[in-house]
Structures are given as C-alpha cells and as structure tokens.
Amino acid sequence: MLRSTGFSVFVFSVATFASSVLASSQVMPSQTDASMQAAAASSPAAFVYVSAQKGSNYEVSGFSAAANGRLTPISGSPFPLNANYLALNSKYVFGSDGISIYSFSVGADGALTQVASINAQNYNEDGCGGPENLFVDRTGTTLYDPDLLGNICANNAYQAFSIDNSTGGLTYLGSVAASPAFNTPLSFIGNNDYGYSSDCYRDEPGIFGYTRNSEGELTETNITAQIPKAPPGDYYCPNLSSTDSASTDSDNRIAIPMMPMSISTLQQDGASQIAVYTAESSGNLSTTSTAANMGKTAVNTVTDIRISPNGKLIAVAGTSGLQVLHFNGANPITHFTGLLTSQEVDHIAWDSGGHLYAISTSAGELMVFTVTSTGASEAAGSPYSIADPENLAVLDR
C-alpha cells in the first residue's frame, strides 16, 4: 500500500451510544427556547451557501438565515458560479471546479461576486489533478485543498494558499506530497498548529496529521496513537473521501468516526461509532475510548461529523439520517437526540446561534434544525428543495 512515510497508520477504536428512532424519541425545545426563537432578528444570523449541479456545471444557492432558522433566498440566487467545493472565512467564499479556485466577496445582503481566481492545477507536476475539496485553518488566513493526483499524476497532495483579506486573492505557498490515501480535509485543533484526518485506503484504516507553521505551510508529522482493542474484529473508518473524516473542538480534542468491520467480508458489521482523541503538545494522540465505554450511533455509515461551535455537541450525519450527541471533551460521547431525519444526509454545518444545516443529495433537500440545551426540532420553513445539492458552507454574521 502506498503511504506517506511520515507517520504511523492506526485506528479502530470506539464508542457506545444508544441508538434512537425518529422524532418520537427526540427531546423537544422548552417553551422558553421556543419563545426566544419565535422572534427573528431584523439582520441575518447567518448566510448559507449550497452548491448544486446544473447540467455539466454548478451553481451556488444563497440564503439569509433569520434568528429562528427560517431561510430567505438572497437576491440573485442561485448564482451562476461554476463552483462545487466550498469553503469560507469571515469575508470571502471560495469555490473550486476541480481545476481553479475562485474567490467571491460577500455583500451586505450575502450576494456573491467573483473577485479573484487561481489555477491550482498549474502548480502540480505534469499538469494533472486538481482540488478535490477546500478547507481553511482556524484563523481563515490560509486556504487548503486536498489535491487529487497532485504528485506525478499518481499520489495526492495538500496545496496551501495564503489569503489576501483585502482583495480575496490567493498566493500559492507550496504543497506537501501525501499518498493515494490522504484525500480528505484536515481539521485543526484550537492552537491551529496541528491538523488531523483519517482514511481507509485499501481497507486499512489510518489517522494522520500535519503541522501548520506560522505562514500556513504544512509539514507531514510523525505521530503515534493509542489504539483501543475492538472485539471482535476491527474498527474501520467510513469512506469520507469527499467530506470531513475528523472534527476538532476549540481546545485539543479530535472526534473520528469508526465503524465495525467484518474480517471475513470487509463489510460494515454493526452501527458506526465515534472515537475521541486528545492531541498532545508533540502532536501525538491519546484516547480513553474503548469498545466498552463508547456507544453506537443511529446513522449507519457516517458521511460527515461536526462539533458545535460551543464544543458541547457533535452532529453526526450518515446514510440513515442525522443525529446530535453530547460531546464531553476527552470523555466518551453520550446520547442526546434520536434521528432528526430518515433521509441520507451528506454534509452538515453549524452556525453559532444553535442552528444545524444539512443537505441530502438523494432527497434534493436543504434542512435546518434548531438545537438547544434540551433538544432539537426542525426550523420553520424547512426543508427547502434544491436539486442535486453537493456542498454546504455557512457564514456567521
């Protein structure tokens, strides 16, 4: 198996949540919460952007989110922007068509206007490959892409671009070669020094990490991790090649999805679970996760995970729906809600006002849920129909 020599391959740990069913088992918001949410603020709480396939190209739909979670289309939406993969910082939305990366300024009403572009493929050896996704560091000063076949038309790489926050322009910083395995976005811990992800290349699960320097460049890091025993068989990370395969809080905790695997069939054998790791100052990962102290999710195969901005909850999307769980730092994740929808959910994102956004490609829907300390419910007006949604980005206001 082709692998980067910079660090060890590992994984297979995890959890034990109690699986729950749909809305009948959900905890509903209190009357106080409902009253507070009823009055939408005059200014938007967030802007929500969804890319969708339009013929052979893409377009981006934009919405203004009120304080109660209700969405209103932004004037001019959907925007005829050929961008599938999306990322953003506080001023710009970035999109890629798989070759170039485009920068879009965000107007006061959320409207997008292209202000810059860069051909990312030009920086690859032999002119092949291109961005397979986009993500930014915690400060929003550096944009990265997991570049498909970016190294000698065979191995993937991570490209880094500095962001000019006055113009939205991107400057190429360099790339770090990886392997066919490393094609997922990195999630950076609170100090912004380390980014982590996981993979399942050739049915061999692995966690990997990179160091980020002050200029934003990445360096492959030789990390180790304590691997819990999984009886029987092994734990196997889901195929998250197009989305996040790890999520971090503002401190140094990393959540990584796992699923039990049958040794004989190499197929999923049971409910997906979530392991929690702690990043040490060296970048090494430690965990107290065991098969005995962690529970099962209700989403079947995990497609995306996101820790909430306050670090207290974690949303888990999967082929059987969407669930929210308690995130307890280094301690095991515990049950909170049942499935909020039975639709397959592909991508999710939070805003800081307690709203969880989710897209389902198969259902052609954008869903919004209001999540409080006592439970979760679908926001007024949700779901919204969007044909062939692909990616999702949410900008807090």
Q: What is the pLDDT of residues 283-294, one digit of tens each?
A: 999 999 887 787
CA distance 347 to 322: 10
Q: What is the pLDDT of residue 9?
A: 33
pLDDT of 32 > 90? The answer is: no
Lowest mean pLDDT among 198-212, 232-246, 353-367: 232-246
pLDDT of 137 > 60? The answer is: yes
**Mean pLDDT on 298-324:** 94
pLDDT of 29 > 60? The answer is: no
**Mean pLDDT on 233-244:** 49
pLDDT of 145 > 90? The answer is: yes
Lowest mean pLDDT among 158-172, 227-241, 271-285: 227-241
CA distance 79 to 109: 13
pLDDT grade for 15, boundaries at 50, 70 and 90:
very low
Mean pLDDT of the chain: 84
Residues contacting residue 214 through CB under 8 Å, at least 6 positions apart: none
pLDDT of 27 > 90? The answer is: no
Residues 285, 279 contacting (CB under 8 angstroms): yes
Q: Which residue has the higher pLDDT, 115 or 330?
A: 115
CA nearest to 149, candidates 133, 128, 121: 128
CA distance 206 to 182: 10
- pLDDT digits 0-9 by tens, 108-125: 999 999 999 999 999 987
CA distance 225 to 294: 18
CA distance 309 to 352: 6
The ranges assigned to domains in the chain are 23-396
| Percent of the chain topping pLDDT 90 | 60
Q: What is the pLDDT of residue 309?
A: 94
Dihedrals phi, psi of 53, to nearest 5 degrees: -75, 135
pLDDT of 380 > 50? The answer is: yes
CA distance 100 to 127: 12
As beta bridge partners, residue 82 has none
**Mean pLDDT on 278-284:** 92
Lowest mean pLDDT among 144-158, 205-219, 312-326, 364-378: 144-158
pLDDT grade for 40, boundaries at 50, 70 and 90:
very low
CA distance 105 to 100: 17
- pLDDT digits 0-9 by tens, 163-202: 999 999 999 999 987 676 677 899 999 999 999 888 776 6
pLDDT of 11 > 80? The answer is: no
| Superfamily (CATH) of domain 23-396 | YVTN repeat-like/Quinoprotein amine dehydrogenase (2.130.10.10)
Residues 320, 22 contacting (CB under 8 angstroms): no
Which three-class secondary structure string do you get for the chain?
CCCCCCCCCCCCCCEECCCCCCHHHCCCCCHHHHHHHHCCCCCCCEEEEEEEEECCEEEEEEEEECCCCCEEECCCCCECCCCCEEEECCCEEEEECCCEEEEEEECCCCCEEEEEEEEHHHHCHHHCCEECCCEECCCCCEEEEEEEEEECCCEEEEEEEEECCCCCCEEEEEEEECCCCCCCCCEECCCCCEEEEEECHHHCCEEEEEEECCCCCEEECCCCECCCCCCCCEEECCCCCCCCCCEECCCCEEEEEEEEECCCCCCECCCCEEEEEEECCCCCEECCCCCCCEECCCCCCEEEEEECCCCCEEEEEECCEEEEEEEECCEEEEECCCCCECCCCCEEEECCCCEEEEEECCCCEEEEEEECCCCEEECCCCCEECCCEEEEEEEEC
Q: What is the pLDDT of residue 52?
A: 97
Q: What is the pLDDT of residue 232?
A: 62
**Mean pLDDT on 333-358:** 96
**Mean pLDDT on 204-230:** 83
CA nearest to 66, candidates 382, 385, 391: 382
Q: Which residue has the higher pLDDT, 244 or 242?
A: 244
